[in-house]
Amino acid sequence: MKTNIIILISLISLLSNKLNAQVSKESELFEKLKIQDSIFFERSFNQCDFKYLENAIHKDLTFYHDKSGIQNRKQFLEIAKKSLCGDNIKKPIRKVDTKSLEVFPMYKNNVLYGVVQTGVHSFYIREKNKEDLFTGKAKFIHLYLLIDSKWILKEVISFDHQ
C-alpha cells in the first residue's frame, strides 16, 4: 500500500508541475502508446476479450477510481466482467479523445522502462441498431511498464468523472 501511495503521489506531482517532458505527438513512442490505448480498450473494454485483458495488465495492477475506490487486479477483473460485459443489450463503450493524449517516458540509466499516459475518455451505452448514447467522460493516468517488449498496464487513476 505504501508503494502505491508513493507511485500515486509521484504521478500527481509529475502532472501538477506541468513538466515539458511529454514526447511529441509526432514521435514514434507517442504513436505506439496511442495504438496501445486503442487496442487495449477496444479489445478489453469494448469487446470483452478477457483473455487479452488478463495478459495486458500487471499481476500487481492497482486501479484508483474517484467513484468506486481502489481495486487490485482480482477486484478489477471481477468488476470489469460484471459491469462492462454483464449486459449484452446495453453495452458500455469507451472512446478516447486522441487530441487529449500525452505520453511521458520513464527511464532508468537512459533505458526506457515505462510511460505515463494521460488523457480524457468518454463513455457511451451501445444498443443494437441505435447510435451510441453518451453517458459521461473522465480523465485518466496510466502507468505502462515495458516488460519483454510488451506494454503492460501497472497503475490506473481514473478521475473527474462527469
Distances (CA, A) of 34 to 4, 62, 96, 114, 121: 25, 21, 10, 14, 13
pLDDT value, residue 16: 47
Q: What pLDDT was estimated at residue 70?
A: 97
Residue 17 lies in a domain: no
In this predicted structure, what is the pLDDT of residue 9?
60
Give the cell for residue 102: 500525452
- Residue ranges of the chain whose pLDDT lies below 70: 1-20
Please give the full DSSP string across 73-141, using - where no structure is assigned.
HHHHHHHIIIIITS-SSSEEEEEE-GGG-EEEEEEETTEEEEEEEEEEEEEEEE-TTSPPEEEEEEEEE
Kindly list the distances between the CA atom of residue 53 and the CA atoms of 33, 65, 107, 151, in Å, as whole numbers in the listed order.
16, 18, 25, 12
Q: Number of folded domains in the chain?
A: 1
For position 113, which CATH number holds?
Answer: 3.10.450.50
**Residue 112 has what pLDDT?**
96
pLDDT (0 to 100) of residue 14? 53
Indicate whether 49 belongs to any domain. yes
DSSP label at residue 27: S
Per the structure, the complete domain to which residue 153 belongs is given by 2-12+22-159
Q: What is the DSSP letter of 24?
A: P
Tens-place pLDDT, residues 86-124: 887 899 999 999 999 999 999 999 999 999 999 999 999
